[in-house]
Amino acid sequence: SQGYETRAIHPGTSWFWNRTPVYAEFGFDDFKSEENMPYLEKRGPLTSDAAMTEEIIREADATDDPFFYFAVSLQNHGPYEPNRYYNPTHKVQAPTSQWAKDSLLSFTEGASDADKSLERLVEWAKNRQRPTVIAFFGDHLPPLGPVYVETGFLRDNVAPRKEPPDQMLLHHRTPLIVWSNRSGPVTDMGTVSPAFLPYHVLTTAGISHPYYTGFLGQMRERYSVVDRNLLLTPAGKDTPDWARKKQIDPAIRDFRLLQYDMMFGKRRAAPDFFPETVNKRVPHTS
């Protein structure tokens, strides 16, 4: 973390997805969950994005140290049951069943609230004296299930894992914003695999070094998408089913081995790529 206060924030339970040990493995100094956070107001059945955003701002304003916060919101998590909100502010018109319309309305209302929370975060950051970078993204396609089938977007409730590249992008790509209070939004990222997000966040902050971030930068020049079933170059050249081929790009091979070594292996790469972790004991969990 090199002088930064690092904190993961999620207004849900800490045991779900084994979050507490996982965030420790990732190197976070601290993890705030519903068990150790102040009570946050709900919108519908889950903690509201507005309340979580205010908590992020409160914690950020309370520290004088540089910080890196990784926050996972909860309000607009699926499944999107009809009538999630008693006071919706939107209307949905679609050639679907009433159930699908009501489900889509629940998602739409939550997406609108997420957008308002992003606006609140950006307006707060605009007034900060310190350089501040915000990355805002969805981690997967919203699980709208029958809505996709009834509208013809998908044949089944979930997207296939293997499709032609154009369909893979259509069914797996989510919105991403990286914004700086010094330079505004990053406009030339294109499609980005989540593994490359640290590189884009740090370069937007003006931080560069030859360690793992430098390695990611080299990989990003070669590939924009690294999926277990698809490789995609910045120029759009695709390699489907790359993992089944007899010969694999040595750069991808090294990428896989480096990640495995640091997460599950003996961390032999730590001195060269993550030197700050060499003398910091981080126990493995299972």
Give tens-digit pLDDT for 184-236: 999 988 899 999 999 999 999 998 888 999 999 999 999 999 999 999 999 99
Q: Which residues contact 145 (CB under 8 A, 6 or more apart)?
A: 79, 103, 157, 158
| Whole-model pTM over 0.85 | yes
Cα–Cα distance between 117 and 255 in angstroms, integer?
Answer: 35
Helix, coil or strand: residue 216: helix
Task: Calculate ∠ Cα 191-197-201, nearest 5°.
Answer: 115
* pLDDT tens digit sequence for 117-152: 999 999 999 999 999 999 999 999 999 999 999 999
Pairwise CA distance, residues 5 & 17, whole Å? 23
Local structure of 224: helix, strand or coil: coil
Q: Choose among 129, 133, 88, 130: nearest CA to 106.
A: 88
Q: Where are the domains of the chain?
A: 198-286
